Structure 1
Amino acid sequence: MTAIADRLFGRARSPYGVLGFGGAPVGNFAAAMDDEQAARTLRRAWDRGIRYFDTAPHYGLGLSERRIGAALRDRPRDEFVISTKAGRLLVPRDQPLAQDDDGFVVPGDLRRQWDFTAAGVERSLRESLDRLTLDSVDILFAHDPDQAWDGAAGQALASLAGLRSAGLVSAIGIGTNATAGLADLIRAGLVDVIMLANRYSLLDQEALGSVLEPAREHGVAVVAVGVFATGLLSTAQPRSDATYDYRPADAGVLRRAGRIAEICADHGVTLPAAALAFPLLHPAVAAVAVGMRSPHEVDEDLRHLATDIPAGLWQDLVADGIIPAGAVRG
């Protein structure tokens, strides 16, 4: 555990403090849920000891932030850690859509507008704080700057640094699916934390040398998300219709996931339990954040997290060429 990770996530250190509540599902990602179900899910997470919550304006055009804010409104502020993101301003559409066109089941009355300027990032944060009913957040990520334009990450981090200096956020970083350029930002001391989606899992260790090792060397915390590979690793046996990296999984990936499941079964471990535990083997990884749609999913994720994973499972995955030895050594 790096010093920055201990500072950022120290007060989230319940027995399940390494597990974060990913806020996309309560923003109606891919499927709708009503306010009552969202509230019950968030309440179960709190009651079971989860103290790190991640959200973004992008998630349901602000719906995720509003629901998480409502759930945490009466909780002691010094007992939880919250992160949100900036870079996509929410602005009214000239011609509203019946439904959002970016994967969330919400009315399409707003659209997302890239803006990583100092004024745009501050506006985004202040609007997030209003939705969350908070005075500050612990972590503010620049959200997917690689998808905006070349050089957006540098502009974004300069803008975020100003908000950190003003005391509106405690730490800043990048939230992204892309590893390119992250090592340079880490080595330059421009980030406190990286949220990395879908690039460090049992199926993809692209980030091991390019992000996690530099992060460990320079004391930068990493939050791993997408550890279930957008669904493929979330069941004991991979489903033939599962998605991988937001697309239908191809035959090769399905075979590889099936082989991982076989090795897990040989050790009496379920595939999702191993998928959740794997990123945490690396000392740079301070937490994993997982989307949860129901109280049952909260319970299941915590059950997976509590699973005792024998060292032999990791050794067999290395021997089979599924994960590199360096991932186990940390």
Structure 2
Amino acid sequence: MHKNLARTLALAISVGTLASAAPAMAQTKTLTISWWGFNGEKLESLVLAPFREQCGCEIVFETGNNGERLNKIQIRNGGGVDVAYFSDSFSQQGIELGLFQQIDQSKLPNLANIYEMAKDPQDGFGPAYTIGRVGIVYDSEAVTTPVTSWNDLWREDFKSSLSLPGITTTAGPMVVLKAGLYKGTDAFDDDTAAFEALAELKPNVVKNYNTGSEMINLFSTGEITASIAQDFTLAQIQAAKPSVVWADLEEGSIATLNTVNIPVGAAEPELAYEFINFILSDEIQQKLAEEGVDAPVNTNVKLTPEQASIWTYGADVIGSLERIHYGKMNAAKGGWVDRWNENFGM
């Protein structure tokens, strides 16, 4: 009887041990991130590996361009993803579609060290983790008079030597706004004058580009001497054409913000908050900037002049940037596409 009782107790203990172990194994959490997938090796070593160590979690990804990934989240009614990386024009679309949660800033203590522009760029939703800019770049050897204004795009000395971003790119609709201002109007209110200005600009335009590599090639072959560009392409442009410089515009460049949001159907929202706070930290922001991955939004990041030269960096630069109202932009740009293509023959 004692042997049978011992066996029974041993079996009970064994079963109890397995039962208690099962929840422990099940407690491993998975964070699902939707992002572009660029700089994968650097992001793995600088961000993902240390975060896995901190959270004890697994990380899986959805990758693709802004439109593809936003569409997936929309199809799932805001589900399937815990952290969503988007450029601000697309995160605004997600907000308008009701796909993202409003952010509880008390769960992101590292926001205390973030530039004001990045803390709450879209009225209660996700912060920006990096700030870029759209401006004008030009070949300082070929262009004798420096570019100091957006209106310089219409100068006669730029005839058949300018490239513009295509209307469906991030920067394309911004050209329409600047064309309106060239005529003294707000294209959001009345775009007629803006498209008149674009017709006047057409003789200067060699080509509209849809990728950064297209624009860089136009500089390297000498087909263009100036272009509208995003700053993350500057280092690549200068590698192909060292004499290209970023124009210091009297009106300022245009801010572009990449944001991180938590979808409404996130399975691990608390883990998502932990991750967002992590990527806003002094240490991670410093490393990403030093390694050429992202411009910092953390005010404690200190860069050398050489490191800073490729980034939108520092209070003075960030304070000079113009913000775009993406709600108005998203409402207007659909109607601009056909008129743009009619003008430029594309």
Q: TM-score, normalised to structure 1's length?
A: 0.30
Could you say which structure has the higher strand fraction?
Answer: 1
Could you say which structure has the higher helix fraction?
Answer: 2
* Higher RCO (C-alpha 8 Å, min separation 6): 2
